[in-house]
Amino acid sequence: MLDHCAKSHMSVLGTCALMLALLCVGVSVQAGDGELAPPKGGGKGKKEATVAELLNTVRTSRDPETQINAIRKLGEVTTPDDRDNQVTTTLLSFLEKKKDPFVRRAIIRAEGRLQASANPLAKIKFIPVFTDILKNNKEVSIVRESVAEVFRDSLDPDGLPDRKAFDVLLAIAGDKKETNLSLRSFCILASGAFGSAEALPILSGIFNEPDSSLKADAAQAIFDLLDKKPELASKDVSVPTVMKFVEMLGDEKLPDDLRVAVIQVVAQLLREGNAAANKSALEKIIEIMIKSTNDRVVIAAIEALGKIGTPQSVEPLGKTYVDYDPKSEKPKDVEVRAAIMRALQTVLVVQLERPRGTDAKAVKEAIKLLVKAIDDDKSSTVKLSAVYALGYLYDDRFSDERKDPVLALIYLGKASTADDIKAAVADTLIAITGRDFKQKWDDWEKYWDKTYKK
């Protein structure tokens, strides 16, 4: 009897020890049946909430964080889920009932995402509601700012409700009495993104205000506007505004954000042939590239010269390339030379977009420098950028300029031991020639001999 009790006691102790060990590693034991249960949170994991469950969470939860997390997930639903569960409409109805500003902001942002990805017609319903919120100066700032943020990506100049929303944005953007500069900033950027010439006088007037961050936003907004409607750059920007931009180019005391934005805008004006943005503006951008010690500003000037895309802008890019020593692998030198390769790519793109046809001299100078980089540059980063740029010779308008680039690419592909360079070279050769010899460099050489050797 004692022996039996001892054995039973040892069995119980052994079972307890086993259970304790299993619990320590996260395995639970179901009481009563001796079977092991999967650990909490283990196995297949927690089941994802359905769209209906997420909507119910937003409807019933009293915890703002829980509501916001559900709203964020609802902003990512698919078109069928949005349609079947009326997500767009339901969230909009919640917006009228919820008082917490962070929950309201989350709903507005979710509506913007749904409009962009799942329901293009969502804005028909939300624009009037959002416009009323934006106009209401008693509304919490972060909620009004989120409306301007969504409007920046969703408004269309051809829509009547959109234009009413734009009018409110523009009024706030130009309101010097508005003390909430963050709200003004969002409205300034959204006004430029709308793409209407009506915004130009208001945005230009901001340059007479003292706040440098608002000036930077106004410059960015004008850049976005002209990028959307390039035809406005040639005649719709007033002469005083253009001259103000040109004057600001030379001001080294400007904050980086503002100076970079100004360089971008002046480049657009020059590219579109604005008469007031004359030769002196181009010379100032070139001078910035050559003399500035601010790397970010130098890169901005390089990019600007690429966007201008004329022989007068390409030539100084070549000189700067040499100044930053093609044999150097210092990070700063490589960064600048790679930026020049990207600028030369932009030159080729600009030439393809020119309504007056390509500028042969600009094209030749750009290609000459790209080939030089492929042949002589020590940095694989710079070589890769040059290889990608030459891919834009795919257009038949550049057919007479392919001979030297194709040969340079073949030699690079054959000599390189880097897989990424070989792959990029093959892709570019295929794009340029319409032939597909993959990475068979001997076949590419035979093709070149047959096509170009005379």
pLDDT of the residue at 235: 84
pLDDT attached to residue 35: 33
pLDDT digits (tens, 9 = 90+) for 226-264: 999 999 998 889 999 999 999 999 888 899 999 999 999
Residues of the chain falling short of pLDDT 50: 1-43
Distance between CA atoms of 108 and 278, rounded to whole angstroms? 44
Backbone angles phi, psi at 309, to 5 degrees: 70, 25
196, 167 Cβ separation under 8 angstroms: no
SS (H, E, C) 140-202: CHHHHHHHHHHHHHHCCCCCHHHHHHHHHHHHHHCCCCCCCHHHHHHHHHHHHHHCCCCHHHH
Question: Rounded to an integer, what distance in angstroms lies between the CA atom of residue 91 and that of residue 86?
Answer: 9
Q: In the prediction, which pLDDT does 160 show?
A: 93
Q: What is the pLDDT of residue 32?
A: 35
DSSP SS3 for 66: helix
The pLDDT score that the predictor gives to residue 326 is 97
User: Considering the entire predicted model, what is its pTM?
Assistant: 0.78
3-state helix, strand, coil in the chain (%, to 5): 75, 0, 25
Indicate if the alpha-carbon torsion angle 401, 404, 409, 414 is positive or negative. positive
How does pLDDT run across 42-85, given as a tens digit for each residue?
A: 445 568 899 999 999 999 999 999 999 999 999 999 999 999 99
pLDDT of 297: 95
**What pLDDT score does 13 carry?**
40
Concatenated DSSP letters of 209-246: SS-HHHHHHHHHHHHHHHHH-GGGGTTTS-HHHHHHHH
The span from the CA of 420 to the CA of 357, in Å, is 34
What pLDDT is attached to residue 18? 39
